Amino acid sequence: MDDLTDLGIRDTAESWPVVSSAELARGAMVRLRKDMVRMPGGEVVGRDVLEHPGAVAVLALDAAERVLMIRQYRHPVGRLLWEIPAGLRDIAGEPLRATAERELLEEAGYRAAEWRVLTDSFSSPGISTERIRIFLARGLAWVPESERSYVPEHEEAHLELSWVPLEQAAARIFAGDLHNGVTALGILSAYAARKDGFAALREPDAPER
């Protein structure tokens, strides 16, 4: 296989000039602003930007190569979605692996002994700054509810958990039965990465590029 790095297939940082910026709305976790951006050639156009703190997600895989999935109500789309555990980067300075460990325990009740990075992505770069790191977690151990300090509430109080063979999870994506984008990326990344025993995956504390 060709080395894609040699072909220049790598995202790079870039910033076109912002002539002005104005806040349009602010929520509990996000802020919407409009930037007036100068295009190459001089034209200035408006671009809406949703500022988002970012998130992590966890593709938890057991010894039988089954994916740990949770079913959660998502109000904006009016659906109950099967997803992998995920959560916001809402604690300043918290390492991403620690955030992932916390979400896996809070949403699914598991700890993992082995961690790797599956992928880093922008969920909707045309409008949002949200950046997501998806981890692969293995060596799973169930934590009894009596040993957990977190009490789920709201949507998380009604989660349903299931173990799905990795091949079946991938097939459900192709069939159009699973719609969460982060979940699809995590499942398909794991499906591809296991061909070499996940040897190509980065260490859990690898920097985001």
Q: How far apart are CA 99 and CA 139, in angstroms?
A: 18
For the four alpha carbons of 129, 102, 187 and 176, in that order, the dihedral sign comes to: negative
Q: Dump the DSSP string for 141-207.
A: EE--GGG------GGGGG-EEEEEEHHHHHHHHHTT----HHHHHHHHHHHHHGGGTTTTSBPTTPP
- Calculate the CA 25 to chain-centre distance: 24
Sheet holding 44-51, edge to edge: 18-26, 31-38, 44-51
SS3 label, residue 145: helix
Q: Which residues are marked as active site?
A: 156
Q: How far apart are CA 165 and CA 110, in angstroms?
A: 18
Closest CA to 135 of 168, 97, 89: 97
**Which residues is 80 bridged to in the sheet?**
73
